[in-house]
Amino acid sequence: MTKVSDLRDQSIEDLEAACGEARRDLFLLRGEASQDKKMEKPHRVRQQRKEIARILTILHEKQTASV
């Protein structure tokens, strides 16, 4: 989990890369959930969704500020 202050220090390109990585991790977690009847850490799906939302929020803030 990344802190918001750390995300704010990153560039737009870094945020886009982090978002792609977080989405890939979420995809893998959902695949794991569909294969197993019981996930080892089901809370990770929710954490990843929130992480993606944080990244996208800061990304949009930076994009609108630069316009």
Give the chain's domain count. 1
Q: How far apart are CA 36 and CA 33, in angstroms?
A: 5
For residue 60, give its domain range.
Answer: 4-66
Query: What tens digit of pLDDT does each residue of 14-67 get?
Result: 999 999 999 999 999 999 888 877 788 889 999 999 999 999 999 999 999 877
CATH code of the domain in which 33 resides: 1.10.287
Sign of CA dihedral 14, 4, 26, 36: positive
| pLDDT recorded at residue 13 | 96
